[in-house]
Structure 1
Amino acid sequence: MAGLPEITIAGTVVADPEIRYTASGAAVANFTVAANDRRFDRDRNEWVDAGATFLRCSIWRQAAENVAETLTKGTRVLVTGVLRQRSYEKDGQTRYAFEVDATEVAVSLKFATAEVKKATRTAGAPAALAGEPDPWGSAPPATATARTTSGFDEPPF
């Protein structure tokens, strides 16, 4: 992914995530995040919405299942990933869309609290993800749902 811009966006999920599976069994979750440009107008003494940016996001594998189980419409999130531009034809005109290939998705704690539970692993996960120590020393993914138990019995620290 070298050369592509990495971004972090804070916003609100506009609809429940959609999850699907590829022929090989890999999960992919798609969802849209709206980031509102909101400013305080001192003349009117109120907050004013100055527009919104909608970004379609996708995330893969175990994280996709965690996202689909955790996020719902209206959840405020932080999404980090690679920004991609694609073009398509509609009515004889070339149009462009920006999308985020998410690498991390987190529930924002700005206006909410969350209880974090370790996620269970899906069948067919690579050995390093199914209970074997991670060779890079990273922590197993966690979700803010009621999912419990995983192949990891000890925290990574």
Structure 2
Amino acid sequence: MTDTITITGNVATEPEHKRTPGGVPITTFRVASGQRRYDRTTNSWVDAGTNWFSVSTFRGLAEHAFHSLRKGDRVILTGKLKLRQWETDTKKGVSADIDADAIGHDLRFGVSRFEKDAAASTSSEDGAPEHPGATEWTVATITDAWAAPEAHPADEPALVGAAIAGDSAASGRDDADTPF
């Protein structure tokens, strides 16, 4: 029996990429999902254990996961949970395996840049963005999790004010009816 599950955690192993004899791409890795709770007696956060999951991805998701994920990345993923019993000569246990349907970086802990797969891209022949008025963003890597992010163009008062006033040219948007 399989159940759908959504978890957040850290990629605990470097993703490993393989192909089946039939040529289907597979990427596998482990995810550690640490649990924390607030202890009112000590007025502090305490670790309450870690759940470990073996994650498998297939086909296009496998290709994208292999090129996008690295050990230590914080991710959110959803997929089908399978509990599998295992036994060796000295130990036995239960493994929690997930066949992932979707994976993304957890943006509470950093920044990420999405790039469409070239095969799925719908830009025009001259290379223009698929959405008129779209802005190209520069993404910086934040090494200090507590550092303030650099200013985002939408945070600029002139641009926000122009967007509220409906000035689509100044705000860089082509949908002047939308204030934000």
- Aligned mates of 1:45, 1:79 — CA distance in 2: 31
| Residue in 2 that maps onto 1:19 | 17
Q: Deviations for 1:13-41, whole angstroms, at most 9, x for unmatched residues?
A: 11211111111111101111111111222
Contact 2:52 2:96 in 1 (8 A): no
Q: Deviations for 1:68-88, whole angstroms, at most 9, x for unmatched residues?
A: 111111111111111112223
Q: Counterpart amino acid of 1:118?
A: K
Pairwise CA RMSD: 2.0
Map residues 43-62 of structure 1 onto 2, 5 A cutoff: 43-62=41-60
Greater mean deviation of Cα atoms: 39-48 or 26-35: 39-48
Identity percentage over the alignment? 34
Q: Counterpart amino acid of 1:33?
A: V
2:30 is aligned, of 29, 32, 35, to 32
- Aligned mates of 1:22, 1:53 — CA distance in 2: 28
Map residues 1-157 of structure 1 onto 2, 5 A cutoff: 4-91=2-89, 95-119=93-117, 149-153=118-122
Q: Highest CA radius of gyration, 1 or 2?
A: 2
Q: Counterpart amino acid of 1:87?
A: Q
Contact 2:15 2:29 in 1 (8 A): yes
Q: Deviations for 1:100-142, whole angstroms, at most 9, x for unmatched residues?
A: 01111111111111111012xxxxxxxxxxxxxxxxxxxxxxx
More contact order relative to length (CA 8 Å, sep ≥ 6)? 1
How many residue pairs align between the two structures?
Answer: 125
